[in-house]
């Protein structure tokens, strides 16, 4: 496993990147992390806590973007220290890479920005693991260029994550060939099981989603060989400040992971 300090790193299970869409506050971040740590420790699943310190890609100007960069980053650092787990957050501009790298273990490149050379190089130069989300407009095979940019900048620690492909103007579809194609680059490949169920560009300016299909997406990803899963989860998705429409109810996570372990055991 290329992620430092990851628990259960000798596990044959898939690994998990999970947490709320955005850091909403310290208490809820710690509560979500504590619950997931208990579940993943019990199931021997390597775990990375996920939380965006700032949401830059919003449909409307009045959408929630964060509680303040430094405040949110310090919460991510506290989560990592308190539970002894690695953390991941996304960055949107080159200057953010060095700042976020002081607080987290993995820097995530949003799908819309996976072709941004300066952003990829800045993330690479921090020495942190770089999780690149595949653009909704790209094939898995075409991600070789994003991988090459990070490698050529001197960083071999790369993860690739699929989050679906644009299907018309307001929907996404998952093509599982992308996971297979991205595995040829000899980096861990992850399926984003929640963002791939978004229904973007709604008239209201609030992204919709189909969380009832999270299990379907996750099972299929494990069956075709995904190394890891990305799942945004919240104890009360309807009242989450960001992306509540496609997040998994936290109470459902353990049961889902138990099913996925059985799928994993059947295919390895």
Whole-number pLDDT of residue 164: 95
DSSP collapsed to 3 states, the chain: CCCCCCCCCCCCCCEEEEECCECCCHHHHHHHHHHHHHHHHHHCCCEEEECECCCCCCCCCCCCCCCCHHHHHHHHHHHHHHHCCCEEEECCCCCHHHHHHCCCCEEEECHHHCCCHHHHHHHHHCCCEEEEECCCCCCCHHHHHHHHHHHHCCCCCEEEEECCEECCCCCEECCCHHHHHHHCCCCCEEEECCHHHEECCCCCCCCEECHHHHHHHHHHHHHCCCCEEEEEEECCHHHCCCCHHHCEEHHHHHHHHHHHHHHHHHHC
Q: What is the pTM assigned to this prediction?
A: 0.94
Whole-number pLDDT of residue 61: 67
Q: pLDDT tens digits for the chain (268 residues)?
A: 588 888 887 788 999 999 999 999 999 999 999 999 999 999 999 999 999 999 876 566 667 777 999 999 999 999 999 999 999 999 999 999 999 999 999 999 999 999 999 999 999 999 999 999 999 999 999 999 999 999 999 999 999 999 999 998 888 999 999 999 999 999 999 999 999 997 775 555 555 678 899 999 999 999 999 999 999 999 999 998 887 788 999 999 999 999 999 999 999 8
Whole-number pLDDT of residue 65: 73
Q: How many CA atoms lie within 13 A of 80 on its CB side?
A: 23
Whole-number pLDDT of residue 186: 96
CB contact at 8 A, 159 and 179: no
CB contact at 8 A, 82 and 104: no
CATH number of 15-267: 3.20.20.70
């Amino acid at each position: 496993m290329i992620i430092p300090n990851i628990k259960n790193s000798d596990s044959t299970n898939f690994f998990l990147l999970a947490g709320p869409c955005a850091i909403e506050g310290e208490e809820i971040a710690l509560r979500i992390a504590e619950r997931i740590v208990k579940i993943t420790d019990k199931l021997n699943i390597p775990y990375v806590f996920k939380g965006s310190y700032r949401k830059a890609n919003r449909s409307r100007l009045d959408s929630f973007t964060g509680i303040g960069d430094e405040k949110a980053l310090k919460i991510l650092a506290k989560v990592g220290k308190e539970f002894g787990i690695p953390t991941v957050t996304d960055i949107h501009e080159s200057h953010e890479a060095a700042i976020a790298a002081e607080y987290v273990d993995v820097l995530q490149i949003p799908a819309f920005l996976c072709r941004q050379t300066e952003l990829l190089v800045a993330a690479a130069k921090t020495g942190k693991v770089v999780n690149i989300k595949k653009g909704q407009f790209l094939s898995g095979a075409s991600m070789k260029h994003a991988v090459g940019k990070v490698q050529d900048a001197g960083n071999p620690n790369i993860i690739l994550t699929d989050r679906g492909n644009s299907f018309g103007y307001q929907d996404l579809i998952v093509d599982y060939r992308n996971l297979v194609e991205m595995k040829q680059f000899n980096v861990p490949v992850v399926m984003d099981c929640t963002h791939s169920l978004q229904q973007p560009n709604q008239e209201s300016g609030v992204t919709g989603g189909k969380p009832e299909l999270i299990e379907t997406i996750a099972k299929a990803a494990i069956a075709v060989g995904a190394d890891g899963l990305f799942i945004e989860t919240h104890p009360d998705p309807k009242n989450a400040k960001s992306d509540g429409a496609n997040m998994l109810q936290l109470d459902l996570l353990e049961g889902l992971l138990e099913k996925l372990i059985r799928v994993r055991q059947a295919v390895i």
